[in-house]
Structure 1
Amino acid sequence: MRVKVRDVMTHEVVSVNGGASFKDVAEVLIAHGVSAVPVVDGEGHVLGVISEADLLRKEEFKEQYYGEGYQPPLRSRLRLSLSKEGPKTRNRAGADTAADLMTTPAVTTGSHASVVSAMRVMAEHGVKRLPVVSKEGRLEGIVSRCDLIQVFLRSDADIAREVREDVLAHSLWAKTSDVRASVEQGVVTLVGSMQRRNDARIAVCMVERVNGVVDVIDHITWRQDDR
């Protein structure tokens, strides 16, 4: 089973339009208990995303706007100076509407994308959640790191069934009838024998790709070293 984003995403997602005020955005985050909200146009196209961090920048850099002589912590100033978003960050700190507050373009994913690809997008862009959009760019839901972790909650029995029936029995051209698989707490143990070393390695790699597999313990022996 290849788990898709649509299988774990939140379908009912709150959003705001570009004209929403700073206060309105803050109230939406608090009322719905979320840490970020997509900004959409009148047709539901995702324009950007506003996170709690975007709102807190008004406090972090308030000396520029309120003249209180406040200096952000050194770590924050270094992060800002090293970031490509530095100037934009300072501008957003003085923003009053969602259109000016949001980070754009939004980093998104599609509902048919695999959870692995969504994880990689999050890691690449350093974000904790992704708006899920249609091919036309309209908002369909949102997926968070917590949602993606759900793939590791698959039962051992479900993982074992996929490994035995889908991977070992049908996905490999090499004979695997002498290979046995057991699963405990998401860790798959493969025991048995195969003809070639490379085929044994391929079997292990394919089992590692099964959603929910935490690790693979390889006890497969081979009769021919064809490296």
Structure 2
Amino acid sequence: MQHRTVGDLMTHGVVLARRDTPFKNIVTMLSDNEVTALPVVDDIGHPVGVVSEADLLRTVTARSGPTGLPRSPNASNGAPDANDGITAEQLMSAPAVCARPEWTVVEAARLMDTEGVKRLPVVDEAETLVGIVSRGDLLRVFLRRDDALRDEIAGDVLVRTLGLAPSDVAVDVRDGRVTLKGRVETEQIIPVIERLCRGVDGVVSVHSALHRRLDETAD
């Protein structure tokens, strides 16, 4: 049984900004590459923050007057824009909250939830940026077909991992929801089966109707 890792799901060839990347360049990079955020790296490729569309809009709002127009009285007369001179270092959310390529989907999702972020730069052992993973990337594991989930549970979990006979447990999967029916040797193995099935990438829920084989009175 194999779990897809952050390294399997992340985006490679990341579009990134430097600390001194200007405001307008960041806007252009976001638009041209159809992304909503960029990691910001230092001179040796270590992530130091993330700059997002929300960060840019927050800056625009802060530098505008009550009517939404630039505070600078010369802004409409060809003078430099109020956002000129602002760089990624001033805009970014810092420090960067990063993941490792070998992490599981659950590990990355927990960090996103704990830190309240939508994406994680991914770094190697040298703390160098190697990719970026978003919430949407992590959710791709739930696009697995039901028959693929059923085959992994029946073959990898029940037979190869736990040593059960193929006829011991019937596995039904619909829209990622797993139903298990059958009889096994001991009650102690039932929660183990349920836990391993929940750990299969793409499983939404597990309903167990398993019973001990010798308990003929069980429903």
**TM-score bracket for the superposition, by shorter chain length:** 0.7 to 0.9
Distance change in 2, residues 1:56/1:94 (3 Å): farther
Equivalent position SS for 2:185: strand
Structure 1 residue 174: Cα displacement? 7.4
| Equivalent residue, structure 1, for 2:50 | 49
Measured in 1, the distance between the counterparts of 2:178 and 2:85 equals: 51
Does residue 186 (structure 1) correspond to residue 176 (structure 2)? The answer is yes
Aligned letter for 2:43? G
Structure 1 residue 10: Cα displacement? 0.9
Measured in 2, the distance between the counterparts of 1:184 and 1:99 equals: 48
Output aligned runs, 1:1-227, within 5 Å. 1-62=2-63, 68-69=65-66, 96-172=86-162, 178-222=168-212, 223=214
Aligned letter for 1:44? G
Equivalent position SS for 1:131: strand
Greater alpha carbon shift after TM alignment, 102-111 vs 188-197: 188-197
Based on CA coordinates, which of the two structures has the bigger radius of gyration? 2
CA contact 2:171–2:180 (8 Å) conserved in 1: yes
Structure 1 residue 95: Cα displacement? 7.9
Measured in 2, the distance between the counterparts of 1:127 and 1:195 equals: 45
Structure 1 residue 158: Cα displacement? 1.6
Unaligned runs of 5+ in 2: 69-82
Structure 1 residue 70: Cα displacement? 6.7
Greater alpha carbon shift after TM alignment, 166-175 vs 148-157: 166-175
TM-score w.r.t. structure 1 length?
0.80
Identical amino acids, percent of aligned pairs: 40
Q: Which has the higher helix share?
A: 1
Measured in 2, the distance between the counterparts of 1:118 and 1:130 equals: 8
Structure 1 residue 34: Cα displacement? 0.8
Unaligned runs of 5+ in 1: 72-92
Measured in 1, the distance between the counterparts of 2:153 and 2:29 equals: 44
Measured in 1, the distance between the counterparts of 2:99 and 2:11 equals: 13
Measured in 2, the distance between the counterparts of 1:138 and 1:44 equals: 5
Structure 1 residue 184: Cα displacement? 2.2
Q: CA RMSD in A?
A: 2.3
